[in-house]
Amino acid sequence: MKVKDYIWKEYILLPVLILIGVIGRIILVGLKIQPFPNFEVIMVITFLAAVLIRSKIAIIVPFLAMIISDVILGNSVFIGHPMNRIVIFTYSGFIFLSVISYLRSDWFKKHIRDLNLKSIAITGGTGFIFTLIYDIWTNAGWWYIIYPHTTEAFISVFLAGIPFMIYHLLSNVFMFIVVALPVVSYITIHHPIIIPKETPDLT
C-alpha cells in the first residue's frame, strides 16, 4: 500500500465532513429552515468520520464542526449566561458517540456493507440509540447547570424534553438510513483501501 492511497482520506475526507457539519448547522440553525425541531447533521457526520477514517483524529470532526459553527452563528461558548456552559455536554456527547463509532467501526462496516433490510434496521437502530444516549446526557446537563438539584426538577427537565427528543430521534433515524448507510456501503464495497483500521504498510 502506498502513502498516496491514504492522502485523500486523511486530508480531504476529514475537512469535508467538518465543512458539511458547519454548513449544515448554519443552514438549519442559522437560517432556521429546519423541517422540524432538532433536525441536524452533526450526529451523522460524527458516525461517518469515526467509521470511515482510520485515525483516531476522526474524533475531532464533531468538535470542530460544532465550535466553528457556534462561532459563525455568534453563539457564546463557555462564557456569559450559565446556559452557555451546556456546550460542555453537547460537545462531549458527540465526542463520546464518536469514540463508540470508532471502536465498533469494523463491526459497522461488516454489517452495513450491503443495502438490505438488516442493514437498514442496524443503521436506523444505531441512529436511534445514539440519539437517545445523547439526549439523556444533554438533558442531564440542562438539569445540572440550570435547575435545582432535586429529583422533581430532574424529572421535570426530562418530561419537558420528550417532544424535542421525539423529533431528534426521528430526524437521526432518517439521516442514518438515508445518508450514513449508502455512504458506508458504497465506500466499503468500492473503495475498501481508504478505510482499513490497521496502520498501513507504507513501503
Q: Which residues lie closer than 8 Å to 138 by C-beta, 6 or more apart?
A: 86, 89, 90, 93
Closest-CA residue to 43 (of 107, 85, 101, 86): 101
In Å, what is the CA distance from 70 to each residue of 24, 84, 107? 12, 11, 33
Q: Which residue has the higher pLDDT, 96 or 13?
A: 96
If pLDDT is split at 50, 70 and 90, which confidence band does 83 have?
Answer: low
Bigger pLDDT: 89 vs 54? 89
Q: What is the pTM of this model?
A: 0.86
Let me know if residue 199 belongs to a domain. Answer: no
* 55 within some domain: yes
* 91/45 Cα distance (integer angstroms): 14
Quick one: pLDDT at residue 1? Answer: 45
Is 201 inside any structural domain?
A: no
Contact between 99 and 130 under an 8 Å Cβ cutoff? The reply is no
pLDDT for position 198: 46
State pLDDT tens for residues 112-160.
988 999 999 999 999 999 999 999 999 999 999 999 999 999 999 999 9
What is the tally of structural domains in the chain? 1
Which range scores top for mean pLDDT: 1-15, 58-72, 101-115, 122-136?
Answer: 122-136
- 111 in any annotated domain: yes
Whether 203 maps to a domain, the answer reads: no
Whether residue 31 has pLDDT greater than 70? yes
Confidence at residue 13, expressed as pLDDT on a 0 to 100 scale: 86
**Cα–Cα distance between 33 and 39 in angstroms, integer?**
10
Q: Where in the sequence is the domain holding 23, given as residue range(s)? A: 4-194
Q: How far apart are CA 32 and CA 30, in angstroms?
A: 5
Q: What is the pLDDT of residue 200?
A: 44
**Does the pLDDT of residue 187 top 70, yes or no?**
yes
Confidence (pLDDT) at 189: 81
Determine the average pLDDT of the residues in 45-60.
Answer: 88
For residue 103, give the DSSP letter: H
